[in-house]
Amino acid sequence: MDLDLARQAQVGDESAFAEIVRRYSPRVFSVASRFFRQRSLVEEAAQEVFLKAYTQLGSFEGRGSLEGWLTRIATNTCLNMVRGAKRRPEFTVSDLTDDEASWLDHQSAGDGEAPSVENELVASDLADRVLSVLSPEDQQALLMIDGEDASIKEVAEATGWSESKVKVRAFRARKKVREAMEKLLGHAIKKDSQAHH
């Protein structure tokens, strides 16, 4: 089915390629969202993925799924885009916002706030903050495994890395993120005690 669609698109059937885009854009957007949060950047990356996929349709042999093949193209395209970006945000503890400090304080005290859109956003901002200590590749591995509960094998398939490489990346990334989070917690506690005095 996937192979037929790919073959039709390859010989110039526009409707077949449009169907590929319609069917798999949620998956491609989900991959791009790991790397970018701004809609315009996610869309730009996703478009790049489909244009690249169109030119490489001939290399899709139908051994795996079209979704898996596109996931791999999406991962590599996004990694290249992030690597090519001029600046990546640096990890800092000093500019922790009041919301972030408060979230950390509540979570640390064990009285986790009720889940809400605002709290989810604050937690995501904190995630981006701690993830900034990692290389784009390590971010990718950790977000897939710890964020999306992907297996080592799934990450290996999506990235083209060996399973042992994925394990090493995930271990190293988890350690760095934990250490960054310890720094943030220390700063949040200090900020909170200053606010109470």
Residues near other proteins, by CB under 8 A: 14, 17-18, 21-22, 25-26, 29-30, 32-34, 36-37, 39, 42-43, 46-47, 50-51, 54, 104, 107-108, 120, 123-124, 126-128, 130-131, 142-143, 145-149, 171, 174-175, 177-179, 181-182, 185-186
Please state, in angstroms and rounded to a whole number, the distance separating the CA atoms of residues 67 and 50.
12
Helices (DSSP H) in the chain: which residue ranges?
Answer: 2-10, 14-35, 39-55, 66-84, 98-108, 117-131, 136-142, 152-159, 163-196
Cβ closer to other proteins: 63 or 90?
A: 90
**Contact criterion met (CB below 8 Å) for 81 and 48:** yes
Residues in the chain: 197
Compare residues 2 and 45 and give the one whose CB is closer to other proteins: 45
Q: Which is nearer to other proteins, 76 or 132 (CB)?
A: 132
> Minimal distance in Å, beta carbon 197 to other proteins?
22
Smallest distance from the beta carbon of 172 to other proteins, in angstroms? 8
Confirm if 32 and 78 have CB atoms less than 8 A apart.
yes
66 vs 143, beta carbon nearer other proteins: 143
Rounded Cα distance between 72 and 87, Å, is 24
Q: Which one, 32 or 157, has the nearer CB to other proteins?
A: 32
Q: How far is the CB of 116 from other proteins (least distance, A)?
A: 11
Q: How far is the CB of 149 from other proteins (least distance, A)?
A: 8
Taking Cα atoms as reference points, which of 113, 104, 129 lies closest to residue 192?
Answer: 104
